[in-house]
Structure 1
Amino acid sequence: MASKLSAEVRHNSGPLEGSKYIPVAEFYHGRSIFITGGTGFMGKVLIEKLLRSCPGIKNIFVLIRPKRGQDITTRLTQILGGPLFDRIRNDNADNLKKVVPINGDITLHELGISEMDQLTICQEVSIVFHSAATVKFDEKIKQSVTINMVGTKQLLDLCHRMLFLDALVHVSTAYCNCDRKDVCEIIYPPPYNPEEIIQLVKWFPEDMLEKLTPSLIGNRPNSYTFTKAMAEHMLLKEAKDLPVSIVRPSIVLSSFKEPVSGWVDNFNGPTGIVSAVSKGFFRTILCEQSCIADLIPVDLVINLMITAAWHTASRRNMRNITVYNCTSGIDNPITWGSFVRMCIDNMRKHPVEGVLWYPTGNLRVNKALNFVHGLFAHFIPALVLDACSLVVGRKPIMKIVQIKLSKAATCLQYFTNAQWHFRNDNVRNLLTHLSPQDRNTFQFDVSTIDWQEYIERYVLGFREYLFKQNPASLDKCRSNMYKMYLVHQFTKLIMIACMWRFLLKKSIRLRAAWKKVLNHIVQVMKVIAFL
């Protein structure tokens, strides 16, 4: 029965049948979807958007592995119970029942999926979204290859067995070709055969692999960008006649508008650094402020993925893989300097609870100066605070926090001190294929982003969703922020006075000049008093 239904859906639901336009939501009607990475940041937004904007969807099968003692049903229940799904729970809670957990693991043979579940997927699924990946920049090469390459290969094997597959959307990264400054929407030839890398990782001991990693990744900064580039080429070689498209987002941040503005659930990328600045214990980073920060809201990426699958299905007889650079740098650029300034302005306007110091930030290009500033602004205060914690019987954590932040900042330095030109002709072309209604429902036009408004919602978002702080506490936090400001300014005056006193002690000429200035001021005051 399921097989017959899928056959009918495949036959009747192409997005473009001659001159007839099939709306995106109608295209997904009656279809079953398979998602890897559904428990991640982007995966959650994808599930929510499909349920809300494509209500006729049949099932969404989500690959989930047991984690920390929780089975897959418990994990899915927790995800669907989060604030991201509030609108669906309020409007149509029954739609949540369409999400079906599939026990599996991207690192296991055949994705760890049981034969029965594989049969169900192969008979019912017609659209696949593959977003499972390790996004750790400093991940060891063995784990990165296993997840990003071997996992993709095993998913391809499963897709080849699907009876009615109309589209496979693979999520890559715009930075997989960061060894080039001008990046087109094509799959570039890699330095190695992907299969050789898989075999190398399979047979070589881990300590030897770690020594080989720098020579393997070459001009790329980490194993993440290297293995994502390898995975793209593997798709090109092994997808064969499968209908495949690749979506390459740049730096993914909180939601722009959907389902709520500012939603974010992790400290990855710039968010970890920015949130630490909002707390007042991170103040300097190596960054070229004039470089473009290629940021992209998560909901725009998801809308592009959904419409890319719709468009791929209409072109399933064409064997070339379409690549979409989902970026903002060409159509709506913002520099790192502007991004940081806007963030700090909004941190002061909408402060978080538990601020240790008045939020400030310095973008430096001099490594030595950044190191010295970090030593005095980050690590020495951390040691002082840890000593105070020990005195009062609390666990010292600030040194550990600063080490983690320093590590995260180091991982970001490659991307904050250079810029790329990501061409996005395919993304622009896809927009022209959408009706005005679909363009509005599945919005991914980055030129519509007002960065000032977006960043304000971004700051409010990590305050509410990451720090779990109630918006009702804002007034109290603003009052506290004003006190912090006064303390910050008073401290600067004290430091200037101490420095001036030190210089006066060390320089006879400076003391003589200062004495003349004071005498002149006294004379002027006498004249004013006489008048």
Structure 2
Amino acid sequence: MTSGDDYADSNDICSSLGFSCVQWNKTIHLTRRRYSSDCWETNTMVIPAGCECMWPVHRLGDMNLRINTNKNKMPSPTIREFYKGRNILVTGGTGFMGKVLIEKVLYSIPDVGNIYILMRPKRGKSVGQRIEDMQRLKLFDRLKSENPSALKKMKPLQGDVLFDQLGLSDSDIEMLSNEVSIVFHFAATLRLEAPLKDNVSMNTIGTQRALDMARRFKNLVVFVHLSTAFCYPDYEVLNERCHAPPVQPEKVMKLIQWLDDRQLALLTPSLLGPHPNCYTFSKRLAENLVEEAHQDMRVVIARPSIVCPSVKEPMPGWVDNLNGPVGVMLGAGKGVIRTMLCNGALVAQVTPVDIAINAIIAIGMIEGSRTDKPESLPVYNVNNGHHQPTTWGDVLNIAKAYGRKYPLSWPLWYPNGDITTNQFLHEYRRIFYHLVPAYLIDFLLFLLGQKRIMVRIQERISQGLEVLQYFTMRPWNFPCANYDAVRLKLTPEEQVIFNTDITDQNREEYMANCVEGGRTYCFKEDPSKVVMNRTYHNFLYLLDWFVKIMFWLFVLSCLASWFQPVKSIFAIGEPVVKHLPFLGPVVSKIEEL
């Protein structure tokens, strides 16, 4: 028989697993003959026969449960144990973070199941051809070298979050519903300056479609939604929680279907409210949809800050786009960007892509292996700005020093840009350092019969900088308690394999790797030509000073021509001044008079 204490222990075990303890009883019928009599009597006894843990009404997925009767709780699985044999669906798998996620999972979790990648045909290439092109990237070199068979687990699926049911065929949907237990929803447009319709269609409605599809997966364990740490600009402290959106997502989703582009453009400012652009607005709406899904799904939000090139994996400095600070650094290195509104005293809230991906993989395990249902939606601010605070001024100085030592190939002008918080000074520099040279170059191209491109390029740069400057001109406060706790929930071995801490990282070395990554993977430049680049760089340095001197002499000559006091001042040094271009002839005329 089971005693009351044993029952209490069993009940504690079941409760710790999120189950119900059901007491089983045995009914015993006793029959006996009375002493020295022919009469028989019966007696019925009910005795407890033990406790059995029963599944909850809502099945949370194919959880592998292990009861530790000594500690009365289930030990957490390791990352590799959790992902072992499980199939994953990734949306946005062809993007910067998506590719790094796929490579890291295949490399560090060799026993993972298949990774289904939602893709669309592009530029005349099928999804099969695109996956082959992706596997040829240097990103996958270590995987091809050490475990090439893992690449076979990359399964492309033709689809798109812009279409109902993700644009998937019925057979693909049936297959996914039976096989997939983990979803990483990364699909999003990162064009901060894109109009409302584009952002909401991809970031908000696309998220709703991904959630609807995940609800059909019979063995779903966790749905990881990739958001952004900047989606609540109206809050001084951006805690790891969701806030109500300024407008209900359902209303906005209906609006973009009813109104044309012109009407939406007129309505956009009133809809955005405190948001600086449609991107953060649409991501905030998406978070609200995920929060609503928390009622009946196991969902979690990961909010990275500005994502930058990798620290270490799959190689130092890996990057495949010019978004964010990397694009600014490389544009400045090419002499195209020479001014930007930025507060150099503010901490740069950035995180390397491999560190962010390590955290997201771990977050999937932590939330997917939970046996209790959290009261509120789990949110993780994935940010490393507090691990090793580095200001935007530090970033500029380190990048400048490295760029002068190892310059990029054939910059348009000497790379000597600067940042400022003064709007007037920024506009002055933008006109004379960006627009005037662009018009001059386009004029030369026109004379040579070539296509004029520089003004258009500078307009796009100005538009991009205007959007980015919002994030570099105000302080951001991201409490990261949940994110910092991720590392503590990993084994010592996995703290190394899935590192989420960059406290000891050499920032000068990291910045150098960022520049080299942009040079190699974005500009496809040959690093061995640095000596030749340095020679051209020195020539541009002298040319830059020559042009500056000529410009200011021209300005001073105009002032001397227009204002008598200025003329008189320069007349004092007439023996020397008369030999100067522009200013000399003006002073000589004064002397003749």
- TM-score, normalising length: structure 2: 0.82
Partner in structure 1 of residue 397 of structure 2: 341
Amino acid at match of 2:161: I
Q: Find the partner of 1:425 among 460, 474, 481.
A: 481
Partner in structure 2 of residue 525 of structure 1: none
User: Does residue 463 in structure 1 map to residue 515 in structure 2?
Assistant: no
Name structure 1 gaps, 5 residues minimum.
1-6, 519-531
Q: Find the partner of 2:168 among 105, 113, 116.
A: 113
Partner in structure 2 of residue 162 of structure 1: 217
Aligned partner of residue 503 in structure 2, secondary structure: helix
1:139-177 Cα deviation digits (max 9, x unpaired): 221221121111111111111111111111100000001
CA gap of 1:383–1:316, structure 2 versus 1, over 3 A, is farther
Q: Find the partner of 1:480 among 516, 536, 540.
A: 536
Mapped partners of 1:43, 1:95: distance in 2: 17
Amino acid at match of 1:113: L
- Structure number with the higher helix fraction is 1
Partner in structure 2 of residue 314 of structure 1: 369
Aligned partner of residue 147 in structure 2, secondary structure: helix
Once the two structures are TM-superposed, the CA of residue 500 in structure 1 deviates from its matched residue by 5.9
Mapped partners of 1:140, 1:301: distance in 2: 28
Mapped partners of 1:71, 1:77: distance in 2: 10
1:257-282 Cα deviation digits (max 9, x unpaired): 11011111112223333222111122
1:208-230 Cα deviation digits (max 9, x unpaired): 22211111110110111111111
Once the two structures are TM-superposed, the CA of residue 246 in structure 1 deviates from its matched residue by 0.6
Mapped partners of 2:118, 2:192: distance in 1: 23
Mapped partners of 1:373, 1:509: distance in 2: 30
Amino acid at match of 2:357: I
Mapped partners of 1:316, 1:248: distance in 2: 23
Partner in structure 2 of residue 97 of structure 1: 152
Partner in structure 2 of residue 290 of structure 1: 345
Once the two structures are TM-superposed, the CA of residue 496 in structure 1 deviates from its matched residue by 5.2
Q: Find the partner of 2:92 among 25, 28, 37.
A: 37
Once the two structures are TM-superposed, the CA of residue 22 in structure 1 deviates from its matched residue by 2.8
Partner in structure 1 of residue 425 of structure 2: 369
Mapped partners of 1:97, 1:15: distance in 2: 35
Partner in structure 2 of residue 395 of structure 1: 451
Aligned partner of residue 86 in structure 1, secondary structure: helix
Once the two structures are TM-superposed, the CA of residue 499 in structure 1 deviates from its matched residue by 5.4
User: Does residue 327 in structure 1 map to residue 398 in structure 2?
Assistant: no
Amino acid at match of 1:222: N
CA gap of 1:15–1:344, structure 2 versus 1, over 3 A, is farther
Partner in structure 1 of residue 194 of structure 2: 139
CA gap of 1:122–1:316, structure 2 versus 1, over 3 A, is farther
Contact 1:255–1:261 at 8 Å: present in 2 too?
Answer: yes
Partner in structure 2 of residue 510 of structure 1: 569
Partner in structure 2 of residue 280 of structure 1: 335
Once the two structures are TM-superposed, the CA of residue 478 in structure 1 deviates from its matched residue by 1.9
The two structures, once aligned, show a CA RMSD in angstroms of 2.3
How many percent of aligned residue pairs carry the same amino acid?
Answer: 37
1:467-519 Cα deviation digits (max 9, x unpaired): 0011211222123222322333444444555556666665255246647999x
User: Does residue 438 in structure 1 map to residue 438 in structure 2?
Assistant: no
Mapped partners of 2:427, 2:522: distance in 1: 28
Partner in structure 1 of residue 32 of structure 2: none
Contact 1:106–1:112 at 8 Å: present in 2 too?
Answer: yes
The structure with higher relative contact order (CA 8 Å, sep 6+) is: 1
Once the two structures are TM-superposed, the CA of residue 329 in structure 1 deviates from its matched residue by 2.8
Once the two structures are TM-superposed, the CA of residue 312 in structure 1 deviates from its matched residue by 0.6
Once the two structures are TM-superposed, the CA of residue 291 in structure 1 deviates from its matched residue by 2.0
User: Does residue 187 in structure 1 map to residue 246 in structure 2?
Assistant: no
Q: Find the partner of 2:62 among 2, 7, 10.
A: 10
Mapped partners of 2:336, 2:556: distance in 1: 27
Name structure 2 gaps, 5 residues minimum.
1-58, 578-593
Aligned partner of residue 285 in structure 1, secondary structure: strand
Contact 2:304–2:383 at 8 Å: present in 1 too?
Answer: yes
Once the two structures are TM-superposed, the CA of residue 79 in structure 1 deviates from its matched residue by 0.9
Partner in structure 2 of residue 354 of structure 1: 410
Mapped partners of 1:14, 1:128: distance in 2: 24
Deviates more, 1:476-485 or 1:157-166: 476-485
Amino acid at match of 1:413: Q
Once the two structures are TM-superposed, the CA of residue 20 in structure 1 deviates from its matched residue by 3.8
Contact 1:247–1:305 at 8 Å: present in 2 too?
Answer: yes
List structure 1 runs of 4+ shifted beyond 3 angstroms.
13-21, 489-506, 511-518
Aligned partner of residue 176 in structure 1, secondary structure: coil
Once the two structures are TM-superposed, the CA of residue 447 in structure 1 deviates from its matched residue by 2.3
Contact 2:326–2:514 at 8 Å: present in 1 too?
Answer: no
1:248-304 Cα deviation digits (max 9, x unpaired): 011111111110111111122233332221111221112222222211111111111
- TM-score, normalising length: structure 1: 0.91
Q: How do 1:42-53 and structure 2 match up within 5 A? A: 42-53=97-108
Contact 1:59–1:99 at 8 Å: present in 2 too?
Answer: yes
User: Does residue 76 in structure 1 map to residue 131 in structure 2?
Assistant: yes
User: Does residue 204 in structure 1 map to residue 259 in structure 2?
Assistant: yes
Aligned partner of residue 230 in structure 2, secondary structure: helix
Mapped partners of 1:378, 1:464: distance in 2: 26
Once the two structures are TM-superposed, the CA of residue 19 in structure 1 deviates from its matched residue by 5.8
Contact 1:126–1:167 at 8 Å: present in 2 too?
Answer: yes
Contact 1:464–1:470 at 8 Å: present in 2 too?
Answer: yes
User: Does residue 410 in structure 1 map to residue 462 in structure 2?
Assistant: no
